[in-house]
Structure 1
Amino acid sequence: MPQTHIVTAFDQELDRLTSSIGAMGDFAGAQVTDAVRALLHGDTALARRVVDQDRQLDALRRDLSASAALVIAKRQPLAGDLDEVLADFKIVEDLERIGDLAKNIAKRAIAISGMTFPDVLVTSLDELSNLAVDQLRRALATFVARDAAEAMVVRQQDEATDAMHTAIFRDLVSRMGADPSQIIGFVHLLFCELRKRAR
């Protein structure tokens, strides 16, 4: 549980940062969901919207990084308080990276628009996307609530995401050999998979 400071304004600044990071995370998660939907269903209009909206995430990253830097400059936090603000910096950078990955997926959706994929593969990729976005939202919720116990639960559940990713990766590779006519589309999906797993 976060400590209360003598200077109330400091607590308010930290709370605003945390709340804004939560909102940025919701936006990043929505970007991923939309990008995957555009990819799997050939929705180029939605894909272009994801690409365009990436600028908003970039702006949020700049604003939040500046706010965190201002807190350090004004309050000169020590120990745990400094760790918290530095963690804010890292989370903001990670959220922007998630937005970049969503933009990459959306660009691939535009590149392969018109291609269709087997229903079972579409379902698997949709499930993987939903699992990853849900994990992001739950992780951010634990950050906002400062719930360390729940954070460990969310972290342990990453194994399920890893297992599903591995299964889909193998399925894509096997399909590339079995159906050469769809190799280009499968390669794009494979690169989305690889990029999404970047940490």
Structure 2
Amino acid sequence: MNHYTSGVILYGERELIRRQSLSKVNFDNYRAILSFVNIGNVHWKFLYINADDSCLYLVDPSRNSLEQEESDRAAKRFREYFKMRRTCYNKTDWVNVRLQGGVLTHPFQRDGSSCGVMVIMMAKAVMEAFPNKPEMTFWTTKKRWPRHEGHLHRQYLRPQYLTVTPTVPCVQQRNHPIQDPPSLTGSSVITATAGSILNAWT
């Protein structure tokens, strides 16, 4: 799920959510959802929904004592989202998945700029461990970041999908429920590295 759609579901108004109904998608074909959520155009969180255990994790790379509460609210929003799809489009996939909020054990960022790299490292750990809970043991020191970034660029951000922008603002579509920067469509992965944004989309 792209970061714009997940942001709308979590924070958007009802009419905006209806526009992101994904009416052509059958979620029953999937066992999990991974996404990234932009907060206030300055921070990234990782969203992981595991339909097998009916659990939603909204993971904050920074230390956040409200992570369980925020995951609970996010689970409620997604339950309402799937009910909306049934009401408006007669889509019943995932309607009976009783999502509950959960918390993953994970490292924390040690600066104010590495959240983009960390959420991708979290997604990598989840994909490698699925359907089991991941053990997130990657390093978060500044000396290790160049190694992490180089690995991510080579393995996950294929050159044919990359564009480098010499600015740091996060990328969202217009009319986003939180901010209003330029538009981007499709599934996207965004990492902020060395003062640039690397955008990969399919």
Structure of larger gyration radius: 1
Instruction: Tell me the TM-score normalised to structure 2 length.
Output: 0.25
Q: Taking CA–CA contacts closer than 8 Å with sequence separation of 6 or more, which of the two structures ends up with the larger relative contact order?
A: 1
* Larger fraction in helix: 1
Higher strand share: 2
- Return the TM-score normalized by structure 1: 0.25
